[in-house]
Amino acid sequence: MSSSLKKIVTGVVIFVAVVLIAYPKVKPLFSEGEETASQQNSGAPLSVDAVMVEPTRVQDKIFSTGSILANEEVELRSEVSGKITDIYLDEGKMVDKNQLLIKINDSELQAQLQRAQYRLNLASERERRQQQLLEKGGISQEDYDATLNEVNVLKSEVQLIRAQIDKTEIRAPFRGRVGLKYVSDGSYISPTTRIASLQNINPVKLDFSVPERYVNRVRVGDDISFTVQGTEGAFDGEIYAIEPKIDSQTRTLQLRALSDNDEGLLVPGAFADIELILETIDDALMIPTISLIPELQGQKVYLFKNGSVAEQRVETGLRTAERVRIVDGIQPGDTVLTTGLLQVRQGMPVRINEIQSQ
């Protein structure tokens, strides 16, 4: 057998194989065309599906991602250096505002306070006596003023020592939950020593951003919905602060929201998938996207009226994955065709096979 004959035989075999594989897939197309042609030749109305337009509630949303933050968070550190004498905090427990958490040795300061107090008492007694002598002319005004000044200096010294003693007590700046502690009784600490963290996690904050094109649509008070991994269901929140400028690097606007965390399910640092609700429309007229037909002058749909097709120009608004809002051109109760859109024409009689619900 010559090489040319082999090529011809091989080509014929490949063609037959392709036809056998493709035939089951293209057969419905021919059948549909034959059915349409048959209906047209016989004069029977074309069977189509449609949807009844009804007002429905839709939300204009944008999607973003963000992080959960504690409402308040602080690293507990000491203002002074010294040895810890008492630890009153328990890891993972709640503490109240101003509750004593750590006590640092203040014995030296207490001794200084006691000495200063003795000196102040003595000076105050001397000042009282000299005031009596001054009234009788027993001493000069200058001598009395020197004694009074000494009393005032000693009072200031007592206040200074008490302020230093206050710094040996580490108290909770707000109500919250204590994290892991990194010190023990007897530890020597300084202002750089990490003691523990304190977090207020009810409510929690959410930091996220949106593209700059939404800068004029986002408002304080807008609602959000978000989910986090490891927790079922969605959580609600509300925007309470907006960054007053757009990030020039990412071209996004930074937002911050609050969400209640009564059950403690939301943990700071968690990743959140966020839906920002820009607008809620209670009576939107939505149709399937497939029903919308683009034209040079705009867009149109086919309506079913009195047994035949009627073209209707429309104006669109909000779009979702499968539906589009019609803001002008149709009314509640209209029947919009969803199939047969390439075959139907203005005034053509059709038969509704199925009316889909919204």
For the stretch 71-109, pLDDT in tens is 999 999 999 999 999 999 999 999 999 999 999 999 999
pLDDT at res. 23:
53
| 352: containing domain | 43-56+283-356
Instruction: Tell me the β-bridge partners of 316.
Output: 326
Q: Over the stretch 294-349, which tens digit does the pLDDT of each residue have?
A: 988 889 999 999 889 999 999 998 888 889 999 999 999 899 999 989 899 999 99
Backbone φ and ψ of 192, nearest 5°: -95, -5
pLDDT score of 124 more than 50: yes
* 254-304 tens-digit pLDDT: 999 999 999 889 999 999 999 998 888 888 999 999 999 998 888 999 999
Whether 272 and 305 share a structural domain: no
The pLDDT, as a whole number, for residue 12 is 62
Nearest residue to 157 (alpha-carbon basis) of 119, 197, 195: 119
For the chain, the domain total comes to: 4
How do beta strands 82-87 and 46-52 pair? unpaired
Total Cβ atoms within 10 A of residue 311: 14
pLDDT band at 32 (very low <50, low <70, confident <90, very high): very low
Instruction: Summarize pLDDT for 128-171 with one digit per residue, the tens.
Output: 988 888 888 888 888 888 889 999 999 999 999 999 999 999 99
42 φ/ψ angles, rounded to the nearest 5 degrees? -85, -10
Return the pLDDT at 6: 64
Q: Which of the four pLDDT bands, split at 50, 70 and 90, describes residue 201?
A: very high
Residues 293 and 271 in one domain: no
Of 188, 179, 242, 186, nearest in space to 215 by CA: 242
Domain membership flag for residue 90:
no
Helix (H) or strand (E) holding 132: helix 107-136
CB distance 171 to 99 below 8 Å: yes
Residues 37, 52: one domain? Answer: no
Last residue of one domain, picked from the residues 144, 167, 190: 167
**Which pLDDT score is estimated for 320?**
82
Asked if residue 239 is part of any domain, the answer here is yes
